[in-house]
Chain A
Amino acid sequence: MKIAVLVFPGSNCDHDAYHAIKHVLAADAQFVWHKEGSLDGFDGVVIPGGFTYGDYLRTGALAKLSPVMGAVRRFADSGGPVIGICNGFQILLESGLLPGAMIVNESLKFICDYVTLRTETARTPFTRSIPEGTRLRIPVAHYQGNYFADDETIRRIEGNGQVVFRYCDAGGNVTPEANPNGSIGSIAGICNEKGNVLGMMPHPERCTEPEMGSADGRRLFESMLSHIKENAR
């Protein structure tokens, strides 16, 4: 089992993702430079956070044109698990692998804080071992995390069960006060129709061990690895 951690110019959470998979979960992780055109031999893909291309034009807009994104599309089309975290989520949105777009936080502030998420579905490879309704403590760190899509798209993704995480309060209630950035529907993470591509603004790779303040993020990577193991049988 081998997990690709993509590295673009400006990625800065790549080492955290690598650490989570390689050292915390003792699975094989390998950095893949964005100029690579193939992901052959990999069983999962992590598109980490950061500021690819300095966020020029729009977040993720230039990274979507890197050669490796063609390989990610093929990997996703074949059903392989792909997780885009923060800027990785923005890249997935810009590349059209996930619907919608990110706009500036309603508060106009960069938000760096722990948030509580409510797990809305266990249908993705990353949430299969996290029961619906489970609350997770995971930090966010973004300026453009205000999820936007037109009404029709929102209806479609809600109807298909593509909303994977919502911002909620400590009791699990989705309220305007618990929404850090103004996202429609308090959406923190969505998946594609098939469920194998997940994008989320919070950073599970930053909370995989108790000494990091929370180990909840570990559950997403464990889920992914168990999914891969099961499918390899």
Chain B
Amino acid sequence: MKARIYVTLRKGVLDPQGKAIQRSLSHLGMEGVDEIRVGKFMEVTLGEMTRPDAEKLLDDACRRLIANTVIEDYRFEIEG
């Protein structure tokens, strides 16, 4: 079973890296990009388990380690 986890900075948390990338795009002459927020993407391979168990496990993993909910939001998708 495969899953994908997305960790993004919460609204209101400064993202100087995203800002720098956005500025660099406009230096390349690409206009129209108003904002970029940089996050993390993880591919997870899970052992045999039911979908509800996988959801519970991933939520627990995100809450306790993978995301810092003071500054980050998370969501995940389970394949299949």
Contacts and interface: CB of A to CB of B under 8 A. Distances in A.
Interface in B46-78: 65-66, 68, 70-71
Nearest to A182: B14
Nearest to B20: A108
Nearest to B9: A103
A192 interface: no
Contact of B71 (A101, A105, A106): A101
Interface in B8-44: 9, 12-14, 16-17, 20
| Range, interface on chain A | 20 to 34
A57 B65 contact: yes
Main secondary structure of the interface of A (DSSP, over half): loop
B20 A103 contact: no
Interface in A90-104: 93-94, 99-101, 103-104
A134 interface: no
Interface centre among B9, B17, B70 (most CB of A within 10 A): B70
A111 interface: no
Nearest to B19: A108
A81 B75 CA distance: 38
A61 B68 contact: yes
Interface stretch (A25-33, A143-151, A215-223): A143-151
A61 B65 contact: yes
Interface of B: 9, 12-14, 16-17, 20, 65-66, 68, 70-71
Chain A to chain B: the 4 pairs with minimum beta-carbon distance, closest first: A101-B70, A101-B71, A108-B16, A101-B68
19 contacts: A57-B65, A57-B66, A61-B65, A61-B68, A93-B70, A99-B70, A100-B70, A103-B9, A103-B14, A104-B16, A105-B16, A107-B16, A108-B16, A108-B20, A146-B14, A148-B13, A148-B14, A150-B70, A182-B14
